[in-house]
Structure 1
């Protein structure tokens, strides 16, 4: 499963649903600042984001109606098992507009959700229909059925973001890793043993990098690395030398910025924290923070939390070396290997 830093790239593998370490927590935004629901929303909002918001609405209206999952699963016209509804709300099954229609009308009939008007229901049903028609992520064919939703969400963030800001204290970000470096990380993982699975994970990691090569709509990647990320000789001197050269070359791309925070900077605002990423989508007010530790991945969408992490990465960037100075330092590291 993906461990700390898996998103933009530390030692890790694709997590499977239910496995230890693949847990996900999500701190969601309140009504203010959320993506509004209206017809055509998928045309301006990434598919994964629209789906996530729709599922949040289904949960919200069920709770407004005062129903447990067991009670909601038995509402008129829907009448499916609680497990089926649980999987739907968790995003583990395909969203069908008919199910959305039946559930919401069932909730409305309780009389406890007066704001759930026929117009609201129609818009949410239309949204479900548009989500079903929207193109699926490039990564779906590479992932197994047991892949945890948290990892699918991460890949969707990478594919749909306009700007990705990343603080990486221990490893080169996954979107900038060489194949040999990634393979060395995978082989070091205590969760991977079979060569075939290691190669599958390496393939996924390298395929993820294609988002930076898009001719239209390629995202901006802005990385701040702590010096500790470049000191370990991962895979041996030759592998690490190639990785450093790849990192230096990537920093010359128009859509990639790499800055180094040296040890000499001393104490800094994120010294006690792990890696994190701030994803900003086409609507600059639509943002999510993704962070990980050894046991769980956390998605933060509440505006005050997003702003806090954005300030953190801006503060650490202000302490980091310039882009040109960073290239020089990377070359120095490579020269001694």
Structure 2
């Protein structure tokens, strides 16, 4: 039986449909007792095709592919009808990051992450070097990209800024705003990205967001607390709640970025975030630290 949280077609976004399809197609396969390799042989598919469908790692889903899988899995007529409907949404609607003029500056791997971020119910993020993306101001974003992408035309930089700012809409969704909890290293408060004026505006913006939005919570990890579980680098945990999708962890490095769905990884990073939360000062004290830092500029 389908999860009651499955979205209505008229309001469903392509990203949500891809995620729901991946979850349901895998559930149907397991219910039918089929191995992935067995399914791929029956359909003459490369294994990567089924993997992409079951991990939502594709831009669109062909209704014919869904029908073929439903027949093999013995899906009920209503199950097939609903899933085909979701596949059609991925073919007829576009997510904002697929819009012409923006999509060319977004790497394919990050488009997949944007789909996860856009449908997540909760996000837990540790950052050691810069303000979390969902809390950044235009000027702060621009300063980061001007250094990270030196030599890139101004027009392209502005597109990257637009992508970052548009992502922040998840904090203000009408149907369930993202619950965002961030822990940042104290160094983030002192690093003059863009100069004194930009960082001051950024710190005030971040503190104001936390004070005026109950779904946004920020803690600061002071230098004085010494070594801690976040010293290996930044990480993001995404949780999907009612969608019944398993949590994932997103890791980004200088050379690459990617998502891990491995239970061990999610558990390890989840515990690390819990430890950081317990170690860092509370929300009110952290907010005072942010306001105090802004006065230094």
For the superposition of Structure 1 and Structure 2, which TM-score range results when normalised by the shorter chain?
A: 0.7 to 0.9
Query: Is the 1:184–1:235 Cα contact (8 Å) retained in structure 2?
Result: yes
Structure 1: tracts of 5 or more residues without a match:
1-36, 74-81, 109-115
Asked if 1:209 is matched to 2:168, the reply is yes
8 Å CA contact 2:200, 2:294 repeated in 1: yes
Aligned pairs for 1:160-171 (under 5 A) are 160-171=119-130
8 Å Cα contact 1:72-1:103 kept in structure 2: no
Q: Which digits, 9 at most, give the CA deviation of each residue in 1:33-84, with x for residues without a partner?
A: xxxx8487742893242244467688x855124639xx815xxxxxxxx7x9
Residue equivalent to 2:97: 139
Structure 1 contact 39–123 (Cα < 8 Å) conserved? no
CA distance in 1, matches of 2:244, 2:4: 18
Q: What corresponds to 2:186 in structure 1?
A: 227
Moved more, 196-205 or 126-135: 126-135
Q: Work out which of the residue numbers 239, 246, 249 in structure 2 matches 1:289.
A: 249
SS at match of 2:242: coil
| Alignment equivalent of 1:72, drawn from 21, 24, 44 | 44
Of 282, 285, 296 in structure 2, the residue corresponding to residue 325 of structure 1 is 285
Deviation sequence 1:215-244 (CA, Å, 0-9, x none): 331111110001122221000111111111
State the distance in 1 between where 2:95 and 2:59 align. Answer: 15
Structure number with higher relative contact order (C-alpha < 8 Å, ≥ 6 residues apart)? 1
With normalisation by structure 2, the TM-score equals 0.80
Looking at structure 1, the residues matched to 38 and 105 of structure 2 have their Cα atoms a distance apart, in angstroms, of 32
Ranges in structure 2 where 5+ consecutive residues have no aligned partner: none
Q: Aligned residue for 1:63?
A: 37
TM score, norm. by length of structure 1: 0.71
Q: Given the alignment, which residue of 20, 36, 43 partners 1:50? A: 20
Shift of 1:198: 0.2
Q: CA deviation at 1:124?
A: 5.4
**1:140 CA drift (Å):** 2.7
1:18-33 equivalences under 5 Å are none
Equivalent residue number for residue 255 of structure 1: 215
Q: CA RMSD in A?
A: 3.4
Classify 1:307/1:182 alpha carbon distance in 2 versus 1 (closer, same or farther; 3 Å): same
1:136 CA drift (Å) = 4.6
Shift, 1:274, TM fit? 1.6
- Distance apart, 1:304 and its partner CA: 3.5
- 1 or 2, which has the higher helix percentage? 2
Aligned CA distance change for structure 1 residues 179 and 309 (closer, same or farther; 3 Å): same
Change (3 A) 1:87 1:197: farther
* Count of residues in Structure 1 that have an aligned counterpart in Structure 2: 280
Q: Give the CA deviation at 1:175.
A: 0.7
The correspondence for 2:65, drawn from 68, 93, 99, is: 99
